[in-house]
């Protein structure tokens, strides 16, 4: 992780450095184009449905944009693998939330944003990673990004599968509601997407 810092530290403004890292992530092999921007849009839709305060929405925007920052630390042979990952490769992939939170805190120091990055792969039932948090012990913004990210991942193609339709992706989210995902966040995204489609 530390070898990323010198190149990112050319500008004294930490947010400029973070923006530079976000752009590097967008260019990284195996990372879907526009994924982060789409996750931000999904997270905003959930936040609006839940009536979140404006200051929390700003934190959420940054956390959603940078949720995968730690994938800069994942080798391309894993991130861009054209077939399903082995368990050993999943062990490598699972370091990215903590790696991203560490990288963000080392440059900016916002604990609320770092918590989104660190905990966006926790599960409502406590079976996620890296800390095994459950239910409301997971920060709300991280629960929102978990749903926003999972939905976006499903509607994007991957080297080993086609993109899911919006309907199938929503079915999968509802199937995981109350186990993998916060039910309120799933329902909020579902309402927002159905309203958008009806407009």
More confident site: 24 or 125: 125
Res 2 pLDDT > 60: no
**Which pTM does this prediction carry?**
0.89
Res 199 pLDDT > 90: no
More confident site: 12 or 23: 23
Res 20 pLDDT > 90: no
Domains and CATH numbers, the chain: 2-198 (1.10.3210.10)
Distance CA 42, CA 65 (A): 11
Enumerate residues 6+ apart whose C-beta is below 8 A from 120.
63, 67, 97, 142, 145, 146, 149
pLDDT in tens, 42-66: 999 999 999 999 889 999 999 999 9
């Amino acid at each position: 992780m530390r070898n990323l810092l010198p190149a990112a530290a050319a500008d004294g403004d930490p947010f400029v450095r973070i923006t530079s890292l976000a752009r590097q992530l967008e260019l990284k092999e195996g990372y879907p184009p526009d994924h982060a921007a789409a996750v931000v849009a999904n997270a905003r839709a959930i936040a609006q449905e839940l009536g979140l305060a404006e200051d929390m929405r700003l934190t959420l925007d940054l956390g959603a944009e940078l949720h995968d920052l730690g994938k800069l630390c994942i080798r391309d042979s894993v991130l861009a693998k054209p077939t399903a990952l082995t368990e050993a490769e999943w062990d490598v992939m699972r370091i990215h939330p903590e790696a991203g939170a560490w990288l963000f805190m080392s440059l900016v120091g916002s604990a609320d944003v770092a918590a989104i990055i660190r905990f966006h792969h926790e599960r409502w039932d406590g079976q996620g990673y890296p800390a095994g948090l459950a239910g409301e012990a997971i920060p709300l913004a991280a629960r929102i990004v978990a749903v926003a990210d999972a939905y976006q991942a499903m509607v994007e193609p991957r080297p080993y599968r086609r993109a899911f339709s919006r309907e199938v992706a929503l079915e999968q989210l509802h199937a995981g509601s109350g186990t993998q995902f916060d039910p309120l966040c799933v329902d909020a995204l579902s309402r927002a997407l159905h309203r958008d489609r009806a407009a």
